[in-house]
Amino acid sequence: MNNIILVGFMGTGKSAVGRLLSRRLNRPFLDLDEQIAKEAGRSIPEIFASEGEAGFRKRESDAVAWSSGLKNYLIATGGGVMLDEGNVQRLKKSGVLICLSARPDIIVQRTLSTLPSRPLLSNGPDPREKVEELLNLRAPFYALADRTVDTSDRSVEQVVEEILKEIEEWKFEKR
């Protein structure tokens, strides 16, 4: 199997799951948002503040284009990566897409403590409403992933175990 790419909404656990899963699978890990911030020499909120969302999305698409040349990586993406058709095409070509999902109340609970680092949620008056609105808008894009794993009432370890099982099944199906 080529790259394993984690997609899904903010607060669904992509980075934490990605890090542990990469260790369990002995694959190198790439966090796309970290890569974008490194390239820019600025944090994600700073990029949003100085270049707007459009500037960030351009950087994100560039990072997707670059990362789809990697082989056998575990890649965690930012929550908006699936909104761009070109990104989806590139990611699908480079590996298997696993979408992490969670209930809105869980997402709000998980993201509240790190709100300033999430400009899309922190810029408006009501983060809860924003989460619901964005989840509804994005549902059809997340549905393009190959598999979806609900992380709502599970620890990072439990989610990793479930994905490892799914991977074994895929290998079996391919035989």
Would you tell me which residues interact with ligand S3P (CB under 6 A)? 10, 14, 33, 44, 78-80, 118-120
Question: 149: Cβ–Cβ under 8 A, 6 or more apart, which residues?
Answer: 98, 99, 100, 101, 159, 162, 163, 166
Nearer to ligand S3P, 87 or 94 (CB): 87
Instruction: Give least dist CB 74 to ligand S3P, A.
Output: 15
- Minimum CB distance to ligand S3P smaller for 47 or for 163: 47
Name the residue whose CB lies closest to ligand S3P. Answer: 78
In a 10 Å sphere around its CB, with 0-12 CB exposed, 13-18 middle and 19+ buried, how is residue 30 labelled? buried
Task: Provide the minimum distance between the beta carbon of 137 and ligand S3P in the complex, in angstroms, as a whole number.
Answer: 11
Cα–Cα distance, 17 to 20 (Å, whole number): 5
Q: Whose Cβ is closer to ligand S3P: residue 78's or residue 95's?
A: 78
